[in-house]
Structure 1
């Protein structure tokens, strides 16, 4: 048994039997389910009774339960939920906190985000709100003038589809407003970058620079690089950008944590943890400075994986503040930049089918390597060819390490051949999806894949009907980290102006309850954490949020307007509006 596993076993040891009588008496009264003593971590004093709550939680039977009071022990775990009268009668020695009738939910979980990127984005140039190339050029010039000390102008979130260019922007179009400093701006999906001539010069890009495996340098009719680098070609520019120092990384993490707790995220699955991120997560967890729990996915199976995996998966440390038990791989790029790998050519670009990052045999070797060491394997796949490669690769894993055991995931599962969708359920693969991707992509997705292939795209209802759990996320900072935007997108399949009127392919929409589950219990399940997170049930961590409206009663059009008033982690308040 590895050291980490020993520590986890120690954390799960049963408490003394002296609490059994109390538990049984409460169970008999109908306040809580009779659960094992080991789950309750009972304490005789310093309990907190939260009262006057408009509370909702799901249980293991997928039932939506109401409560107006919740008892939390001094370890930060839920002891019971029920009515205030019942809990006051059965439990003494507690303090009370009045929630004034506000709606209370379990803390929400984002199953796919990029924490350091979120923090860094706050200090970089953002072009998400620009509606034209001219607006973007103005924003670049203004940002550069505001920050003259920055050696590189970094940022992005541009979208040429919104600009209605009908093409990618060029280096010259940045040069016209800023030529003396290097500029590097990632596309909104993070799978293409836009450089000016200065950046390309520093990177040594010329006519002879080859396209790397899994990437593409966009070129003009003379073979000159236009300034657009797709997928792995982005590394040609990024390798010459000065690395963030320790202080900058800490600032980024602090900024991300502040933003995450303010939108009610009590847990996030970080989709790509390297050695430097891992070190900071462990430090912050040990100091209880992680105000959002982190479930980490190791970035690839290279040097860092070889090193950290010698100790085995980290199932949870520092009261489950941090876990590192998954690996993140990539099969292809994104739809917007036409880097997603398709089985047939793009409907709006018949000369290309996108890019697979690895040959089938190489993908199989990577997933088998990670699974053999006990890690969950989570693979980015957007296009139907990318998804088919991942499904086929995960099918090669021995039964003792397959998806039914380690809960392997497809991250995004965006466009699938209809015949491949049942295979996802048959192999017990989890489709980890991001509802706001559908509403962000609906302006171009059908153009890319056509009317037939779109039937297997963003197909949440199809997956739910076959019994696949859908852990929901945002892929922040590509999308907003606000989970209520995700719930709104999942239910409405509309933008904030309620367009299209009936929703975009509304037959694939979720109910509010289903979307709520995707951001709670399903996300917890996808991180092997459904026994400790995802609902407010006895024995689980008291991670919960207080919000300004009842999401189960307000009109669908108002779901995204939900504001978080308080965020609590392990019974401790970490945010107040």
Structure 2
């Protein structure tokens, strides 16, 4: 792909013509070029019919698609994970300790060792490093190592000493694996050691990485227990400043007014109805297969609280939502929606387009309720790729049958549940085409989606998951290549080729679909947000 200045007279505002490409434009499948002016696509067609422009970009056969939206991220955590201690490849307590020791050796004596990504379900013996072992490995430094789900952490004795309130909180374990409220206490202390400059650098790094991957917008999910208000607002302040746009969701119960004050578009996101499967804190109806007898996780809200939160959102004109993973938590949320419908009416509830994040353990009754109340399911296909199937973490936690029925994206899409895909980064990496492929190659064939449907959920679906726009707003369409739509798109090389305007993402043989699929994924060459280039391969 090369860029050049066009010759000839200029008429009107500056414009850029992209030509010689393959365009994902179902309304005009023959289109090979598009013209951008004032942040919008003002023309689409074939190269030979292209109008004059101030600047011409030669696509040289590259694919152009709407840019991705990641509908659930944590920018600070993502940036810190990129520069911190990565533990997803660790396969034993000894490997964790070795990596802590190596990483800590390069830090000042008063630094906090921040690590992320360990998952003991993939270890041979499941033994976790104890707090005292972490002290020794880190040379006495404070250590905070978040589990892959970020709903629990391994911490050192030194960090426990700096967070005495954790000892009296639910989820405390003197051995050092903290969950629930105890985890929130130590997390606040650990992340409080990060300076404002470090936070800003981490946020910028995360957003820059998103742009490199063809992501032009992210939904930042914060709230008490996840991030503080200063962290949340500092991420929002970076929105669109040469980086992807950031739309914030603040997850505080009955906090619609506060969410609006903070600049959030919705009072939801990380508003926890339960925890996570990896930490055995997701609220499930049947006991965990690998936990204590009758252990079913934890529900953090009641149906009445869900109802009241949705009514509060209606009173303040805000979109609402909840984090809910286990089927018991989802049943509580759905009961709360039924209660809110009794107060507000179903039509008003549906019009608000409220969201549920994750929605992993769904059944037919829960799916029907999502359809009835117009609930947007903000889901992460990589969860199935990394933890689903017959031999991974879900199977260990839930048993094979429940594992294969988890994350039923295809079934939900098939009956009309609105879907918005994301990564929950750093829980799973920013990887939009990988997420599309994960939805297409779900371990359970019943729950697979087509490439166009999964792609739409990761592009148009992310824009549709935002609060409804006022009628007659005059705002451009998002997530499509069409005349009058926002000029927000990405340019890709496609080593495996294209098919009907989208990349080939999976092997021809469905038997090899999944984590080991050898099909190379597309590589982003340029990301454009409302006409402005926010990433260009080889750019400074």
Query: Considering the TM-score relative to the shorter chain, is it more than 0.5?
Result: yes
Matches of 2:383 and 2:425, distance apart in 1: 10
- The equivalent of 2:15 in structure 1 is 47
Using a 3 Å threshold, how does the CA distance of structure 1 residues 333 and 164 change in structure 2: closer, same or farther?
A: farther
Alignment gaps of 5+ in structure 2: 1-10, 470-475, 507-516
**1:182-237 deviation digits (Å, cap 9, x = unpaired):** 1111101101110112212222268xx3343xxx224xxxxxx2101113321231
- The equivalent of 1:10 in structure 2 is none
**Shift in Å, 1:464:** 1.3
- The equivalent of 1:492 in structure 2 is 441
Matches of 1:158 and 1:447, distance apart in 2: 16
- The equivalent of 1:545 in structure 2 is 490
**Shift in Å, 1:388:** 0.9
**Secondary structure at 2:418's aligned position in 1?**
coil
Using a 3 Å threshold, how does the CA distance of structure 1 residues 325 and 78 change in structure 2: closer, same or farther?
A: farther
- The equivalent of 1:460 in structure 2 is 409
Give the TM-score normalised by the residue count of structure 2.
Answer: 0.85
**Secondary structure at 1:341's aligned position in 2?**
coil
**Shift in Å, 1:511:** 1.4
- The equivalent of 1:327 in structure 2 is 268
- The equivalent of 2:354 in structure 1 is 408
Matches of 1:58 and 1:396, distance apart in 2: 41
Q: How does 1:289-328 map to 2 (within 5 A)?
A: 289-301=241-253, 306-307=257-258, 309=260, 324-328=265-269
- The equivalent of 1:21 in structure 2 is none
Q: Does 1:396 align with 2:339?
A: yes
- The equivalent of 2:7 in structure 1 is none
Matches of 2:159 and 2:460, distance apart in 1: 45
Structure 1 contact 262–567 (Cα < 8 Å) conserved: yes
- The equivalent of 2:234 in structure 1 is 280
CA RMSD of aligned residues (A): 2.5
Structure 2 contact 421–462 (Cα < 8 Å) conserved: yes
Q: Does 1:372 align with 2:315?
A: yes
Q: How does 1:23-172 map to 2 (within 5 A)?
A: 44-57=12-25, 65-73=29-37, 75-88=38-51, 92=52, 94-172=54-132
**Secondary structure at 2:39's aligned position in 1?**
coil
Matches of 2:31 and 2:396, distance apart in 1: 47
Matches of 1:98 and 1:205, distance apart in 2: 60
Matches of 1:235 and 1:194, distance apart in 2: 12
**Shift in Å, 1:403:** 4.2
**Shift in Å, 1:541:** 1.5
Structure 1 contact 472–518 (Cα < 8 Å) conserved: yes
- The equivalent of 1:357 in structure 2 is 300
- The equivalent of 2:510 in structure 1 is none
Matches of 1:569 and 1:395, distance apart in 2: 39
**1:495-535 deviation digits (Å, cap 9, x = unpaired):** xxxxxxxxx21221111111111111112111147953211
Alignment gaps of 5+ in structure 1: 1-42, 219-224, 315-322, 494-503
Using a 3 Å threshold, how does the CA distance of structure 1 residues 123 and 325 change in structure 2: closer, same or farther?
A: same
Q: How does 1:248-267 map to 2 (within 5 A)?
A: 248-267=198-217
Using a 3 Å threshold, how does the CA distance of structure 1 residues 278 and 445 change in structure 2: closer, same or farther?
A: closer
**Secondary structure at 1:447's aligned position in 2?**
helix
**Secondary structure at 2:50's aligned position in 1?**
helix
Matches of 2:259 and 2:361, distance apart in 1: 33
Using a 3 Å threshold, how does the CA distance of structure 1 residues 341 and 167 change in structure 2: closer, same or farther?
A: farther
Using a 3 Å threshold, how does the CA distance of structure 1 residues 539 and 369 change in structure 2: closer, same or farther?
A: same
Matches of 1:265 and 1:186, distance apart in 2: 25
Q: Does 1:554 align with 2:504?
A: yes
Matches of 1:51 and 1:525, distance apart in 2: 29
**Shift in Å, 1:292:** 0.3
**Shift in Å, 1:454:** 3.8
- The equivalent of 2:151 in structure 1 is 191
Give the TM-score normalised by the residue count of structure 1.
Answer: 0.80
Matches of 1:553 and 1:415, distance apart in 2: 30
**Shift in Å, 1:308:** 5.4
- The equivalent of 1:200 in structure 2 is 160
Matches of 2:183 and 2:520, distance apart in 1: 34
Using a 3 Å threshold, how does the CA distance of structure 1 residues 308 and 325 change in structure 2: closer, same or farther?
A: closer
Alignment: residue pair count: 493
**Shift in Å, 1:326:** 4.3
**Shift in Å, 1:171:** 1.7
**1:133-156 deviation digits (Å, cap 9, x = unpaired):** 222111100000011345211122
